[in-house]
């Protein structure tokens, strides 16, 4: 099974530049073109939040125009820049977003790898949280299908990626999630976004990853007091591969980078077959 993760798309209305500098719409165009040209068709694309910059209807309309070109099925998840209701209104066919009034969490049981998406958005806040009620819901979902390999997707990483905003953890109750996952070994990976660069770490008894942004990259904090900064590093997306041949197979993650001058059509072209 091939799952593509795109994250932190930060689309602006009428394709306006993000922060007057970053072509988030043009970069997403190139990501979509590259995903469509994968040598093996993706089973699923999941977008892990910050779909638009200001949660505005006109931004979601622009986002739709770009994402409608994707060939693979798409799942959406909000981030701290999103507005749940406007997201739902703009993608009415994504009815899984409306199952809970104050949360866009969902379970996808359509594939051999089960996907559970958590909504970590706290309205008006940069940081996120899972919340007691959603943690209890998650525990119920995991307890209901202990035999089924599962991937958890969320916008705010529940672990430290070293990049923080104001010395606060991205997700306030990440440790509570880690404690819960100790009892649910079917969770093969926790994927997230928010930190705008590819990051991998251990988390509970599983693995945690952060996908790069399709819009703009954040810099590595090389020292504890390094302030937050953006860079001109390539943007990109991740490919999560699950072999589904053995019960204990891991989800393997590859990061695809798209430099500004890279033509999407050439990303997966063979240039040399010499070992
Ligand atoms: Fe973001």
| Distance between first and last Cα of the chain | 27
237 Cα–ligand 1 center, Å: 13
Question: CB within 8 A of 236, min separation 6: which ones?
Answer: 31, 198, 212, 214, 255, 256, 257, 258
DSSP three-state, residue 174: helix
- The pLDDT assigned to 15 comes to 97
More confident residue, 227 or 249: 227
- At residue 23, the 3 state secondary structure works out as coil
pLDDT at 149: 94
Taking the centre of ligand 1 as the mean of its atom positions, its distance from the CA of residue 260, in whole angstroms, is 19
Q: What is the pLDDT of residue 88?
A: 98
Separation of CA 215 and ligand 1 centre (Å): 8
Which residues does residue 52 pair with via DSSP β-bridges, in sequence order?
11
- 156 pLDDT higher than 70: yes
d(Cα 190, Cα 152) in Å, to the nearest integer?
Answer: 5
Q: How far is the CA of 2 from the centre of ligand 1 (A)?
A: 24
Helices (H), the chain: 24-36, 57-67, 84-90, 132-144, 174-181
Confidence of residue 184 (pLDDT cuts 50, 70, 90): very high
Ion ligand 1: residues, CB within 5 A, are: 8, 50
**Ligand 1 centre distance from Cα of residue 275 (Å):** 38
Cα(8) to centroid(ligand 1), Å: 4
pLDDT digits (tens, 9 = 90+) for 74-98: 999 999 999 999 999 999 999 999 9
Distance 66 CA to ligand 1 centre (A): 18
Burial of 230 (0-12, 13-18, 19+ CB in 10 A): middle
Cα 204 to middle of ligand 1, angstroms: 24
Span 1-18, pLDDT tens digits:
999 999 999 999 999 999
Centroid of ligand 1 to alpha carbon of 145 (angstroms): 32
106 C-alpha to center of ligand 1: Å?
A: 21
pTM of the model: 0.96
Q: Could you give all domains of the chain from N- to C-terminal order, each with its CATH number?
A: 2-266 (3.60.21.10)
């Amino acid at each position: 099974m091939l799952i593509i993760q795109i994250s932190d798309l930060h689309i602006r209305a009428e394709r306006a530049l993000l922060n007057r500098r970053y072509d988030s719409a043009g970069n997403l165009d190139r990501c979509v073109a590259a995903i469509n040209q994968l040598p093996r068709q993706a089973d699923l694309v999941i977008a892990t939040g910050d779909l638009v910059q200001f949660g505005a209807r006109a931004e979601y309309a622009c986002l739709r125009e770009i994402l409608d070109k994707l060939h693979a099925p798409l799942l959406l998840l909000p981030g701290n820049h999103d507005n749940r209701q406007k997201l739902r209104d703009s993608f009415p066919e994504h009815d899984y977003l409306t199952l809970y009034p104050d949360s866009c969490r969902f379970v996808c049981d359509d594939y051999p790898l089960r996907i559970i998406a958590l909504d970590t958005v706290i309205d008006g806040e940069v940081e996120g949280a899972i919340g007691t009620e959603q943690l209890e819901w998650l525990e119920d979902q995991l307890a209901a299908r202990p035999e089924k390999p599962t991937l958890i997707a969320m916008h705010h990483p529940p672990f430290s990626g070293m990049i923080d905003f104001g010395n606060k953890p991205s997700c306030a109750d990440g440790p509570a999630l880690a404690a819960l996952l100790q009892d649910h070994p079917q969770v093969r990976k926790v994927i997230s976004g928010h930190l705008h660069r590819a990051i991998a770490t251990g988390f509970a008894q599983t693995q945690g990853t952060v996908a790069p942004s399709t819009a703009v990259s954040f810099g590595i904090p090389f020292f504890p007091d390094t302030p937050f900064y953006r860079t001109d590093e390539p943007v990109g997306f991740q490919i999560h591969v699950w072999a589904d041949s053995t019960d204990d197979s891991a989800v393997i993650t590859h990061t695809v980078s798209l430099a500004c001058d890279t033509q999407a059509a050439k990303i997966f072209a063979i240039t040399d077959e010499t070992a």
